[in-house]
Amino acid sequence: MIRRLVVVLLLVLAVAGIAFFASAWRPRMPAIDTPLRSSFDAASIQRGAVLTAIGGCASCHTAPNSKAYAGGLPLETPFGTIYATNITPERETGIGRWSLAAFVRAMREGVDRDGRQLYPAFPYDHFTHVADEDLRAIYTYLMTREPIRAEAPRNDLVFPLNVRMLIEGWKLLYFDHAPIRPDATQSAEWNRGAYLAEGLGHCGSCHTPRNFLGALKKRRHYAGGDIEGWHAPALDASSRAPVPWTVDALQQYLKRGVSNVHEVSAGPMTRVIHNLAVVPDEEVRAIATYIASNMGAPEQAREERGKEALIRARSAAEKGGDAGIQKLTTGGQQSETTIQDGRVIYEGTCMLCHGAAQRTTGAPSRDALNLGLSTSIQLGTPVNLIRIVLQGMAPPDGESGPFMPGFSTELTDEQLVSLVTYLRSDFSDHPAWQNVAREVRRARQSLARMD
Amino acid sequence: MIVLNVNGREYQVDAAVSTPLLYALRDYLQLNGAKFGCGLGQCGACTVMVDGKPVLSCITPISVLSGRRIKTIEGLGTIDNPGPVQRAFIDEQAAQCGYCIPGMMMRAQALLEANPAPSKADIRRHMNANLCRCGTHMRILRAVERAVGYLKNDRSAG
């Protein structure tokens, strides 16, 4: 009896195994001769340029100081390093021999022309929602770029994750092909925004938390995620922006990287802003409309607090000085000396620009954000604040935009901890961060690796 | 009262702890080499070195500097006996109005102390933080390259 059970069990396992490998196996698509530029029409190339920018393809597929779309950018994931591939139409190292069908399969199913499974660091779980004609336009655009010969370095992943076949298992568990259905109760603009944000824009791939296998936690859509050492803030009702976002503010932020009562873009988001610069206003507004609706109308208490924060910021700008929240308790176990030291550093560094009128220099910097309005100081993690203080912010070469010097040489680790602890204590009602020293060390190490 | 170690000497500075280092240097210690440019850490004219690294002295309060070694342009050499970086800038005639040059020299000095053989790309990346409104950047870059050679000669001459 038991023997028969074992045999049946083994048979079932064998069949399941064969079925798994059969489903994981994808045929190689035939190589084609790279299509000539003249085989595409200019309008479609132009549309492709805009869509490629919305998709942010260049953000990952272009390495620093390298040619556009030639790949090679390392993506540090919790599972190891994945290198973005070359998506220029070069025949050997790029996608020069890829047919439209092969390209569409990669975008929709996460399988390359050779039939190899692609890691979901390439967000095909979002791209699968992109319409045929849009995929064709992106293909047209990419196939008319300058072909660059560049082989991406080999991925550096821990076993067994380096076995591509296993990605099929991941897909069985997490890959949802279900199309995004238009919502008839919403405006055309909202639906356009949903299509762009959920598909090509893949906003959720950073702004949604991931589980231990790197899959998006669908039930916590837009609850905020972690990416490249930064925290991508929540884009749902749990947003901690002191002043609730509006469609107008989001549109301005997405287009220019700055909303003067919210935040200046930093970290990986600067690449998104850079891409969106070429995207028509109505497309950006559609995305803003959808995201704002996802955040929902703020509750009255939050609305009131936002108004108060704005009043404090304005009065600080006129009278000078601090916009800190007057609190009865400091709440937290950090020592008073740390906070005192941090306050002195704030006064000698940050306040010169962020404290508006109370400047000793007389040099105007009207655009510096009042720290009472900063989301980074309100988040559950100090990583964004630490990174901004360490790295500062600067527009890409040749572009204009907000500038802030980094303080990596000016401040020691201990001084950074004091400053960050002080800012949290004076500009936020949320409890003190417990892991500031560890996160400062981590950020330093990561910056040293980038050097 | 804060004790500052500047160019190997200790000074007592009787200023508020949030006073920027630049003001302490110029107003209290009469070390006028570091210049006030923008006062916002955007131009680099105030650059000095702290513990071997370039630091913007206009946005660094003296409260963070006790126990750290500060070096200013006065610490690189004298008029009669200029240091290698200073000689390189003079020989390349890198200054036009000269206002940004002390900051440029200090940033260059910090690079050469950390990396005695920087590539052209290293130099460009490192000097990126300092601006020259006269536009002598090309000469400044040549001066830094020249300084690499001077430092090497000085070392081999013992």
Give the tens place of pLDDT for each residue, A15-61.
777 777 777 778 999 999 999 999 999 999 999 999 999 999 999 99
Boundaries of domain holding B11: 2-75
Q: Which residues pair with A117 in a beta bridge?
A: A111
Looking at the structure, do residues A290 and A388 belong to the same domain, yes or no? no
Looking at the structure, do residues A26 and A170 belong to the same domain, yes or no? yes
B18 and A405 in contact by Cβ < 8 A? no
List Cα–Cα distances, B121 to A89, A193, A198, A233, B84, in angstroms. Answer: 29, 42, 40, 35, 21
Neighbouring residues of A255: CB distance < 8 A, sequence distance ≥ 6: A273, A276, A277, A281, A284
Look at residue A332 and tell me if it is in a domain.
yes
Q: Which of A348, A359, A365 sits opposite B61 (nearest CB)?
A: A348
Q: Give the residue-averaged pLDDT of A97-101.
A: 97
The predicted structure's pLDDT at residue A353: 86
Instruction: Give CA–CA dist A95/A78, Å, rounded.
Output: 28
Q: Is B93's Cβ below 8 Å from some Cβ in A?
A: no
Neighbouring residues of B112: CB distance < 8 A, sequence distance ≥ 6: B85, B118, B144, B147, B148, B151
Q: Which of A440, A387, A393 is nearest to A416 (CA)?
A: A440
Looking at the structure, do residues A245 and A385 belong to the same domain, yes or no? no
Q: Which of A349, A359, A403 sits opposite B60 (nearest CB)?
A: A349
Instruction: Give CA–CA dist B41/B31, Å, rounded.
Output: 19
Looking at the structure, do residues A39 and A159 belong to the same domain, yes or no? yes
Q: What ipTM was estimated for this complex?
A: 0.93
Q: Is A417's Cβ below 8 Å from some Cβ in B?
A: no
Looking at the structure, do residues B107 and B71 belong to the same domain, yes or no? no
Q: Is B40's Cβ below 8 Å from some Cβ in A?
A: yes
Looking at the structure, do residues B58 and B111 belong to the same domain, yes or no? no
Looking at the structure, do residues A131 and A192 belong to the same domain, yes or no? no
**Tally of structural domains, chain A:** 3
Q: Give the residue-averaged pLDDT of A83-106.
A: 97
Looking at the structure, do residues A31 and A170 belong to the same domain, yes or no? yes
Q: Give the residue-averaged pLDDT of A228-232.
A: 94
The predicted structure's pLDDT at residue B157: 78
Q: Examine the pLDDT at B102 and tell me if it is beyond 50.
A: yes
The number of helices, as runs of H, and strands, as runs of E, in chain B is 5, 5
Instruction: Give the residue from B19, B44, B75 where a domain finishes.
Output: B75
Q: What is the CATH number of the domain that holds B6?
A: 3.10.20.30
User: Using the 8-state DSSP alphabet, how is residue A67 labeled?
Assistant: -
Closest approach of B80 to chain A, Cα-based (Å): 31
> Chain B residues with CB inside 8 Å of A398's CB?
none
Boundaries of domain holding A207: 188-295
> Chain B residues with CB inside 8 Å of A347's CB?
18, 61
Looking at the structure, do residues A168 and A38 belong to the same domain, yes or no? yes
Q: Examine the pLDDT at B122 and tell me if it is beyond 70.
A: yes
> Chain A residues with CB inside 8 Å of B38's CB?
361, 363
> Chain A residues with CB inside 8 Å of B58's CB?
352, 361
Looking at the structure, do residues A42 and A79 belong to the same domain, yes or no? yes
Provide the 3-class DSSP secondary structure of residue B47: strand
Closest approach of B151 to chain A, Cα-based (Å): 24
Looking at the structure, do residues A32 and A147 belong to the same domain, yes or no? yes
Instruction: Give the residue from B75, B104, B126 where a domain finishes.
Output: B75
Residues 336-355 of A with CB under 8 A from B: 341, 344-345, 347-349, 352-353
Closest approach of B158 to chain A, Cα-based (Å): 31
Look at residue A308 and tell me if it is in a domain.
no
What is the residue type of A436? V
Q: Examine the pLDDT at A178 and tell me if it is beyond 90.
A: no
The predicted structure's pLDDT at residue A336: 80
Closest approach of A246 to chain B, Cα-based (Å): 31
Instruction: Give the residue from B13, B45, B75 where a domain finishes.
Output: B75
Closest approach of A360 to chain B, Cα-based (Å): 9
Q: What is the CATH number of the domain that holds B92?
A: 1.10.150.120
Provide the 3-class DSSP secondary structure of residue A133: helix
Looking at the structure, do residues A409 and A276 belong to the same domain, yes or no? no
Give per-residue pLDDT as tens, A373-425. 999 999 999 999 999 999 999 887 777 788 899 999 999 999 999 999 999 99
Q: What is the dihedral of CA A261, A394, A417, A439, to 10 degrees?
A: 100
The predicted structure's pLDDT at residue A93: 96
Burial of A331 (0-12, 13-18, 19+ CB in 10 A): middle
